[in-house]
C-alpha cells in the first residue's frame, strides 16, 4: 500500500479487502454542507476521495447512492473518520485514516439457534451457514456426495426450518476467510466451529479439468483444486 494517499480529488489506491468491485473512476463536488470530522471515500481500485461532506440526512448510511454537484452519481461512498492533514498517512501506528474501513467490509457474524440448529449469518453478504456441520451429522465426502449432503440430506430434515441448503461456490466460501489473520484458523472460530485443519469442498468445478473441483482450506485461506474422488469436509450454505 502507498505510504501517503491523496485525500481530495482523484486518488488511485487498492483497498485491503479481497471483495474488490470492478474499477470505476468518479469525480465531482459533493452537494450539501460539510460535516466536521469526516471525509468520504469509495472502496474501489480507482477512486475519488472527496473531502467535502454529503447531505446530513444521507451521511448516516454506510452504503448508498449520492448525487454530486457535478451531476455524477457515486455508488457506495463511505464516511470515514478524518484526522485531516490533507493526506492519509499509513504507518504502523493504529488510529490513522488508513486504518479505517467502513463497517460493511469488516467480517461480522450473528450466530443464532433456529428450530434446534445453530446457524451463522454473515452480516455482510447475507449468507446463512451451518455453524457446525458435524452437529448435523456431516463428515467428509467425495465431491458428488458433498453436493448431495447439502442439497439432499440437510434439506430432507429442514435444518433450521429451511430446505434450500446447498454446497457453496468457491467465491462464497472464500468470503468467510479473514486473509488478515495469521493464525491456525483463517476464519472466525466463534462463528464457525470445527474448522481447524479443514479443506472444504465448494460446488465450483475447475474449468480446466471437469474431474476436479475447487476447495478452500479454512486453516490458512488457501484456495486450490482436487480430484472429485477425494474426500473433504463440507459446510452448507443458503441465501443470496
**For residue range 94-129, what is the model confidence (pLDDT) as tens digits?**
555 555 554 445 778 999 999 999 999 998 889 999
pLDDT digits (tens, 9 = 90+) for 9-56: 333 333 333 333 322 233 333 434 334 444 444 333 223 333 333 333
pLDDT digits (tens, 9 = 90+) for 206-216: 999 999 999 99
Q: Is 172 helix (H, G, I), strand (E, B) or coil?
A: helix
- Per the CB < 8 A criterion, the answer to whether 119 and 162 are in contact is no
Cell of 129: 451457514
Burial of 86 (0-12, 13-18, 19+ CB in 10 A): exposed
- Per the CB < 8 A criterion, the answer to whether 97 and 83 are in contact is yes
Q: CA angle at residue 190 from 186 to 196, to 5 degrees?
A: 45
C-alpha distances in Å from residue 47, one per residue of 44, 52, 54, 91, 140: 6, 15, 17, 21, 44
What pTM value is reported for the model? 0.58
pLDDT at 180: 75
Provide the terminal-to-terminal Cα distance of the chain, rounded to the nearest Å: 32
Domains of the chain: 1-106 (no CATH), 109-238 (3.10.100)
pLDDT digits (tens, 9 = 90+) for 70-87: 333 333 344 444 455 545
Amino acid at each position: 500500500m502507498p505510504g501517503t494517499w491523496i485525500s481530495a480529488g482523484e486518488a488511485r489506491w487498492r483497498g485491503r479487502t479481497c471483495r474488490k468491485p470492478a474499477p470505476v473512476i468518479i469525480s465531482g463536488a459533493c452537494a450539501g454542507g460539510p460535516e466536521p470530522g469526516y471525509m468520504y471515500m469509495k472502496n474501489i481500485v480507482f477512486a475519488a476521495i472527496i473531502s467535502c461532506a454529503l447531505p446530513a440526512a444521507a451521511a448516516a448510511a454506510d452504503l448508498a447512492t449520492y448525487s454530486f454537484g457535478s451531476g455524477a452519481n457515486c455508488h457506495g461512498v463511505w464516511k470515514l473518520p478524518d484526522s485531516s492533514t490533507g493526506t492519509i498517512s499509513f504507518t504502523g501506528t493504529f488510529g490513522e485514516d488508513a486504518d479505517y474501513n467502513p463497517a460493511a467490509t469488516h467480517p461480522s457474524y450473528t450466530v443464532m439457534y433456529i428450530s434446534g440448529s445453530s446457524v451463522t449469518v454473515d452480516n455482510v453478504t447475507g449468507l446463512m451457514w451451518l455453524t457446525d456441520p458435524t452437529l448435523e451429522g456431516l463428515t467428509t465426502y467425495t465431491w458428488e456426495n458433498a453436493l448431495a449432503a447439502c442439497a439432499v440430506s440437510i434439506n430432507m430434515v429442514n435444518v433450521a426450518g429451511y430446505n434450500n441448503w446447498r454446497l457453496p461456490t468457491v467465491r462464497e466460501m472464500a468470503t468467510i476467510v479473514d486473509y488478515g489473520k495469521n493464525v491456525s484458523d483463517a476464519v472466525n472460530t466463534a462463528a464457525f466451529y470445527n474448522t481447524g485443519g479443514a479443506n472444504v469442498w465448494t460446488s465450483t468445478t475447475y474449468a480446466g479439468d471437469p474431474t476436479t473441483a475447487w476447495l478452500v482450506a479454512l486453516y490458512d485461506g488457501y484456495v486450490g483444486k482436487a480430484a472429485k474422488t477425494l474426500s473433504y469436509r463440507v459446510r452448507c450454505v443458503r441465501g443470496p
